[in-house]
DNA sequence: CGCTCCAATATGTATATACATAATCGCCAT
DNA sequence: ATGGCGATTATGTATATACATATTGGAGCG
């Protein structure tokens, strides 16, 4: 139990009150129950509803505002903002961070791991001139219960020999590579794609449903290191890149 | 000035203390002054340094932790995490240039032009607080014979009054705006979408076909200027962003 | 009628305090 | 030595309070 006894019947959870307010409101917005433009209850009303102090409510609302889900206006209240789909920032390399930024529990699952000599297609993807050993990995990233992204990755074993020893069962290839291999150059390709049967199956969506595909090739000092393809269900994901010409 | 007088000589800024602590620490990390693994000062030390309460420091550190810049461990302190925040900045693209880079003849066609008072939806898209006049434009960009992209644009006439005089029959809104209105901030949202009937009709593709949607909001000195949505048929377009880590 | 100015109101930021929780350090007994 | 256990410590979350700030709506005046 927490500091204060909220004498809810439904509790049993050990999450903080702050987290509960946050996810309650987020759910109302994402489910569409509170449409864009809707005024969400005032802080003092939520204070009464959750029987907590204004600071706690304020912290939750401020967080939602910073996440871009709501907009706060003095003297007027807080309002649901436009986009249904939440933001994952293009700068983030790490899907775990993207998912956790959404306030959802993250889970990683390796589907397949295959060591082989590079095919012509592999070499095209990696930008390799000569044949050599590569590692093929397929994994799923979950946000809560739902698949968040399918990852298909090639690692050039000539550049990262140690990868051959790693099973990638407990750690995703992305975080593993970072820190081990400093990258000197990267290239992103972003496009839309209809889910084929394999992808639809993995992501638990309908075949033909639109997906966002982000492919990244990375080089370390002229040597191709990895090629990775992230496939996101369209409705679950929007890339956001925000920038100012001079300073952030 | 704020609630407390920090009697700094360097101030003059009206930013909150919380913001200052945040950006101070962020800067130390991003500049490399505090390397990954470095233990940043304890909350009570920062409390002394900034002459503020623990809550204020705590809020700033929690925020940095949520952003993934630092890691917090009970009884041990807070530590700098992996730095690699790579900004994948997309260029503000000019469709004419994209098309001509493909070696195809470019053509522009204005479909619709409507001056109106901003609806709630318009204000949400533009990020406007108050109502005011806006200009709605729908245009098609062709590569050779085929539609290359559908453009749907809102211009905030309170910020760019001259736009009301322009018909946009011979010049696309993008090039027109550039140079006339210096932008201070921009935000890209990229996602996949299934073409609805209107879009499918305009782009001459099948309804339900996957499309790449690029939305951009632009501000000029805090004032929302324009919101534009480019819709590309999936098979015709891939965004490419190539970059090297500038530093850190 | 329209303009100014003031009070009311909701959010923004900070304070001081309290207790919970997790991890570590060191003491002590076996 | 060594294994357990309590004290210490840093963070986590919540409280109540205070005052700042921006904006809206209305009263009052020319």
Greatest Cα pair distance, chain B, in angstroms, is 68
**Confidence at residue B169, expressed as pLDDT on a 0 to 100 scale:** 94
On whether any CB of chain A is under 8 Å from the CB of B85, the answer is yes
**Confidence at residue B9, expressed as pLDDT on a 0 to 100 scale:** 36
**Strand C contact with B242 (CB < 7 A):** no
- Rounded mean pLDDT of B49-64? 94
- Fold equal for B17-80 and B95-236: no
**Confidence at residue A156, expressed as pLDDT on a 0 to 100 scale:** 95
Tokens 């959750």, residue located: A50
**Confidence at residue B82, expressed as pLDDT on a 0 to 100 scale:** 64
Lowest mean pLDDT among A6-15, A25-34, A42-51, B61-70: A6-15
**Confidence at residue A96, expressed as pLDDT on a 0 to 100 scale:** 83
- How far from B205 is each of A208, B63, B149, B192, B238, CA to CA, in Å? 14, 45, 12, 15, 17
Give B98-162 as a DSSP string.
Answer: HHHHTT--EEEEEEEEEEEE--HHHHHHHT-SS--EEEEEEEEEEETTEEEEEEEEEEETTT-GG
pLDDT at B241 over 70: no
Model confidence band, residue A2 (pLDDT cutoffs 50, 70, 90): very low
On whether any CB of chain B is under 8 Å from the CB of A229, the answer is no
**Confidence at residue B156, expressed as pLDDT on a 0 to 100 scale:** 93
Angle between helices B17-30 and B43-50 (to 10 degrees): 120
**Confidence at residue A108, expressed as pLDDT on a 0 to 100 scale:** 93
pLDDT at A26 over 50: yes
**Confidence at residue B55, expressed as pLDDT on a 0 to 100 scale:** 96
B3 Cβ neighbours under 8 A, 6+ residues apart: none
- How far from B137 is each of A74, B78, B150, B194, B224, CA to CA, in Å? 32, 51, 11, 22, 16
Contact map slice: B 146-205 vs A, CB within 8 A:
183-194
Q: Does domain B17-80 have CATH number 1.10.10.10?
A: yes
**Confidence at residue A129, expressed as pLDDT on a 0 to 100 scale:** 84
On whether any CB of chain B is under 8 Å from the CB of A37, the answer is yes
Tell me the percentage of chain A whose pLDDT exceeds 70. Answer: 83
B98 or B195, greater pLDDT: B195
Please provide residue A17's backbone torsions phi and psi, each rounded to the nearest 5 degrees: -60, -45
What tokens appear for B123 in the block? 């204000």
Determine the nucleotide nearest to B40 by Cα–C1' distance.
D10
> How many CB atoms within 10 Å of residue B214?
20
What tokens appear for A227 in the block? 């090629």
- Rounded mean pLDDT of A43-48? 95
Q: Which residue of B has its CA nearest to A217?
A: B242
- A210 and B189 in contact by Cβ < 8 A? no
User: Which residues 59-118 on A are within 7 A of strand D at the CB atom?
Assistant: 73-76
Model confidence band, residue B184 (pLDDT cutoffs 50, 70, 90): low
Closest-CA distance of chain A to residue B49, Å: 24
**Strand D contact with B76 (CB < 7 A):** yes
**Confidence at residue B115, expressed as pLDDT on a 0 to 100 scale:** 94
Q: Which helix (H) or strand (E) holds B30?
A: helix B17-30
From CA A200, how far away is CA A163, in angstroms rounded? 29
pLDDT per residue as tens digits for the range A138-186? 999 998 888 999 999 999 999 999 899 999 998 899 888 876 776 667 7
Helix (H, G, I), strand (E, B) or coil at A237: coil
Q: Which residue of A has its CA nearest to B220?
A: A244
From CA A65, how far away is CA A43, in angstroms rounded? 13
- B188 and A83 in contact by Cβ < 8 A? no
From CA B142, how far away is CA B210, in angstroms rounded? 19
Q: What is the DSSP letter of B234?
A: G
**Confidence at residue B104, expressed as pLDDT on a 0 to 100 scale:** 83
CATH superfamily entry for domain B95-236? Chorismate lyase-like (3.40.1410.10)
Q: Does domain A87-240 have CATH number 3.40.1410.10?
A: yes
Provide the CA B110 to C1' C1 distance, Å, integer.
Answer: 44
Model confidence band, residue A88 (pLDDT cutoffs 50, 70, 90): very low
How many residues are recorded in chain B?
248
How many residues are recorded in chain A?
248
Cβ-based burial of A60 (10 A; exposed 0-12, middle 13-18, buried ≥19): buried
Contacts of A245 in chain B (CB under 8 A): 183-184
- A191 and B234 in contact by Cβ < 8 A? yes
Model confidence band, residue B35 (pLDDT cutoffs 50, 70, 90): confident
Determine the nucleotide nearest to A39 by Cα–C1' distance.
C10
The CA-based angle A139-A141-A142, given to 5 degrees, is: 140
User: Which residues 36-75 on A are within 7 A of strand C at the CB atom?
Assistant: 42-44, 54-55, 58, 61-62, 65, 72-75
pLDDT per residue as tens digits for the range A194-248? 999 999 999 999 999 999 998 888 887 678 999 999 999 987 777 766 554 322 2
* Partner-chain residue, chosen from A93, A94, A241, that has the shortest CB–CB distance to B188: A241
What tokens appear for A180 in the block? 């081990």
Share the mean pLDDT of chain B.
82
Cβ-based burial of B230 (10 A; exposed 0-12, middle 13-18, buried ≥19): buried
Contacts of A83 in chain B (CB under 8 A): 189
Share the mean pLDDT of chain A.
82
Domain boundaries, chain B: 17-80, 95-236
Q: Among A51, A193, A58, A244, which residue's Cα sits nearest to residue B209?
A: A193
pLDDT per residue as tens digits for the range B65-84? 887 788 899 999 999 876 54
């Amino acid at each position: 139990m927490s500091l204060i006894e909220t004498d809810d019947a439904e509790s049993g959870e050990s999450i903080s009150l702050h987290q509960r307010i946050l996810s309650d409101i987020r759910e109302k917005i994402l489910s569409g129950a509170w449409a864009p433009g809707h005024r969400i209850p005032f802080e003092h009303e939520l204070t009464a509803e959750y029987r907590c102090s204004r600071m706690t409510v304020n912290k939750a609302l401020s967080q939602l505002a910073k996440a871009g889900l709501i907009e706060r206006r003095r003297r007027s209240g807080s309002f649901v903002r436009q986009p249904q789909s939440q933001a994952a920032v293009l700068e983030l390399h790490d899907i775990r961070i993207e998912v956790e930024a959404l306030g959802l529990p993250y889970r990683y699952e390796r589907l397949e791991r295959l060591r082989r000599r590079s095919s012509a297609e592999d070499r095209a993807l990696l930008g390799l001139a000569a044949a050599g050993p590569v590692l093929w990995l397929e994994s799923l990233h979950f946000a809560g219960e739902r698949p968040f992204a399918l990852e298909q990755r090639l690692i050039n074993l000539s550049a990262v020999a140690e990868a051959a020893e790693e099973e990638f069962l407990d750690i995703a290839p992305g975080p593993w590579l970072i820190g081990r291999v400093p990258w000197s150059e990267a290239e992103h390709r972003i496009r839309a794609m209809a889910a084929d049967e394999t992808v639809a199956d993995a992501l638990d969506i309908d075949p033909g449903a639109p997906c966002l595909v982000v492919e990244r090739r990375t080089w370390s000092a002229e040597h191709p290191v990895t090629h990775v393809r992230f496939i996101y269900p369209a409705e679950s994901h929007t890339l956001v890149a925000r920038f100012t010409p001079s300073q952030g």
